[in-house]
Every structure is written in C-alpha cells, then in structure tokens.
Chain A
Amino acid sequence: MIRAMTSLIPLISLFIFPWQVALVAIFAASLMVPPAGLAFGLIADLVYYSPGVAFVPYFTLFGIFSFVLSLLVHRFVKTRIMEG
C-alpha cells in the first residue's frame, strides 16, 4: 500500500515542481511499480503536450523507457543474502 501511495508522488510533482524533478519522480516510481512510469509519462503529455511543440511526446517516450527498464530490473535482479 505504501509502495502504491508513494508511486503517486509523480502526479503531484507534475504540477508543482520543474519537469526535470517530475522526470526523476516518474523514474523512481517506475522502479517501484513498473506501470507507473508509463502511466505518469502519458499523463504528463496529456496535460502539457500540444500539437507542434515537439516531434514526439518526450514524456511518453520516457515513460515507456522507464517501464521497460524497470521490468528488466524486476525480472533479473532479485534480493538475496550475500554469501561470503
């Protein structure tokens, strides 16, 4: 539950903090909840993107990147006790 609530921080940061901070928050949320990166990337472009402002919606692209990367991390990196 805490993880899910924490993943909502990017939603607030999209409206309050500079977009660079929002990007970091989106990436951090994505590492915890992989779909969050994609969702908040889409939401950022739904709020701010307008036709003609860029060739591609950068936040959506970043969201896809975060989503894929975090999926890979969750797939291949597992916590374990290190053995000496």
Chain B
Amino acid sequence: MPWLGPVALALLVLVLIFAVLRFLLPGVLVAVASPLWSVGSSLSVAAGNVGSFFTDKAVLTNERDRLLADNAAYYAKNAQLDAKVKDLERLLGGRTEPIDGILAGVLSRPPVSPYDVLIVNAGSNARVSVGSRADGPGGMPLGEVESVTKNSARILLYSTPGKETESWIGEERIPVTLIGEGSGAMSAVVAREAGIAIGDLVFASGPGALPVGSVIAVGNDPSSPRSRVDIRPLLNPFSVTWVTITP
C-alpha cells in the first residue's frame, strides 16, 4: 500500500490542525464549523419532513410540529407558574426579581453533537460567562455554560452523561442528585418511602421552582431501600433552536 504513508501523514496534519484550533483558537473552530452545522440543521428539518413532502399533509405536519413545540413551551411555563403559586401558598417562595437573559442561537445540538453538548453563538462579547444557566423556551433550565469564547459558548445539558446536578423532585421538593444518562435522559436515586410517582416534576434547585423534567419510571426492587427514578426532560434537546443564558 504505497499510498498509505502520504494519506496517514495528511490525516496527522488534519488532526494537528483541529488540535490547534480547539486549544488555541476555539473561536475560529466554531466559526469554521458554523456553516456546516447550519447545513446539518437544515438537513435534519428536511429529513423530518421528507415523509410528508409528497403528500398534501405537509402543511398540517408543519403546523402540528409548531403546535407541539408551542405546547411543550407552554407546558413548561405552566408547570413553573403552578409550582410558584404552590410555593407562595405555602409561604415558602422567595421574592425573585426578573433577570435579563442573553438570547443565543444553537449552532450544534444532539444528535449531531455527542455527549449532550450545545454550542451556541453567544460568548464573552455578549456577557456570557462560565457557570451561567441556559434556559430553553418557557424558561425551562437546560444546562450550564462549560466554556466560553468571544462569540460562542459550550453548554453541558443536565443530561450530559455522568453530569450531576442538585435538584428537587415531587410535590414535597425532595432533594436529589440528578445524573445525566445521555440523549436527554436523566436519572436519580431516592428512598423508596419518598413516594415518588410517575409524572412527578423535577425542579432545578435555586431561586424559584423551575421544572427540568418529569418522572417516567420508578424502580420497584423490594430488596433495595432505594429506588432508581428515570426522568425525561420537558423540552426535547434535539429540537431546541435557541436558549436564554442567565449571567
């Protein structure tokens, strides 16, 4: 294989170029990749509609998709308001002032991006800082900013594999540690006596009660004092197109 040497050398150079871009010029890497990510987003939308392209149901499909997205946002917002009202009724709610958020478009999202990482087009120039919380439509928390360049930022979703996030679960706001499972899924371990049921909401800890997901399964192993709880995000991270970053 006489061609193997030159090809291997070319691949090595390619890897070195990406290494330099990632570690020394991360902003350039995002700028170069942005057009490709845009193409990927367009292809995803086109692929989603390909089944209805040849039928007269295309308009209805688009409308249904829009309504589903709106419904998810309203559901999240409603759950947030409902939780806030209950907290106020119990005199446990704190006084919160509205905070201005930074609107950022999502350049890369799962499933194109593995590891449940969002790359957005707002960075330190827009006052985004490491550790800031990123919210999706409806004010639902999605994750936290992991790193920032001048014009981009990386957001680790709460569902990032292995990521641990302190949160509350259920009506009684039982404190739990959310563990990311990848592909939008999360899990937690709670005491069997906690009374967690399918459909209970999971809230991000902190001011206000901001829902991040709902319980879809509760483990029922009679030999264990603890139950594993499987949690689904309220907002599908595969379809999020913009986020609001709270500094």
| A64 is an interface residue with CB less than 8 A from chain B | no
Contact between A47 and B18, CB atoms less than 8 A apart: yes
Contact between B117 and A53, CB atoms less than 8 A apart: yes
Contact between A53 and B162, CB atoms less than 8 A apart: yes
Contact between A42 and B15, CB atoms less than 8 A apart: yes
Contact between A52 and B156, CB atoms less than 8 A apart: yes
19 contacts between A and B (CB under 8 A): A1-B3, A4-B7, A16-B37, A19-B112, A33-B4, A36-B11, A39-B15, A43-B15, A47-B22, A48-B113, A50-B115, A50-B117, A52-B146, A52-B156, A52-B162, A53-B156, A53-B161, A53-B163, A54-B162
Chain A interface: which size bin? 20 to 34
Judged by DSSP, the binding face of A is: helix
Interface residues of B in 6-32 (CB under 8 A from A): 7-8, 10-12, 14-15, 18-19, 21-22, 29
Q: How far is the CB of B43 from chain A (nearest CB, A)?
A: 6
Contact residues in A for B18 (Cβ distance below 8 Å)? 42-43, 46-47
| B111 is an interface residue with CB less than 8 A from chain A | yes
> Using an 8 Å CB-CB cutoff, how does the interface string of A18-46 with B read, 1 for contact, 0 for none?
11100000000000011110110011101
A35 to B116, CA, bound (A): 27
Q: How far is the CB of A20 from chain B (nearest CB, A)?
A: 7
Chain B interface: which size bin? 35 or more
A49 to B114, CA, bound (A): 8
Contact between A53 and B116, CB atoms less than 8 A apart: yes
- Which B residues contact A (CB, under 8 angstroms)? 1, 3-4, 7-8, 10-12, 14-15, 18-19, 21-22, 29, 33, 36-37, 39-40, 43, 108, 110-117, 146-147, 154, 156, 160-163
Report which of B36, B43, B114, B146 forms a contact with A19, defined as CB distance below 8 A.
Answer: B114
Contact residues in B for A12 (Cβ distance below 8 Å)? 36
Contacts A52-B162, A53-B162 given; indicate if A4 touches B3 (C-beta within 8 A): yes
Contact between B162 and A55, CB atoms less than 8 A apart: yes
Residue of A nearest to B111 (CB): A18
Contact residues in A for B146 (Cβ distance below 8 Å)? 50-52
Contact between B115 and A53, CB atoms less than 8 A apart: yes
> Using an 8 Å CB-CB cutoff, how does the interface string of A58-84 with B read, 1 for contact, 0 for none?
110000000000000010000000000
Contact residues in B for A20 (Cβ distance below 8 Å)? 111
Which of A4, A20, A47 has the most chain B CB atoms inside 10 A of its CB?
A47
Which of A15, A19, A46 has the most chain B CB atoms inside 10 A of its CB?
A15
A42 to B16, CA, bound (A): 10
Contact between B7 and A33, CB atoms less than 8 A apart: yes
Contacts A50-B146, A50-B156, A53-B117 given; indicate if A16 touches B40 (C-beta within 8 A): yes
Contact residues in B for A1 (Cβ distance below 8 Å)? 3
Contact between B29 and A47, CB atoms less than 8 A apart: yes
A69 to B146, CA, bound (A): 35
Contacts A46-B18, A54-B162 given; indicate if A17 touches B112 (C-beta within 8 A): yes
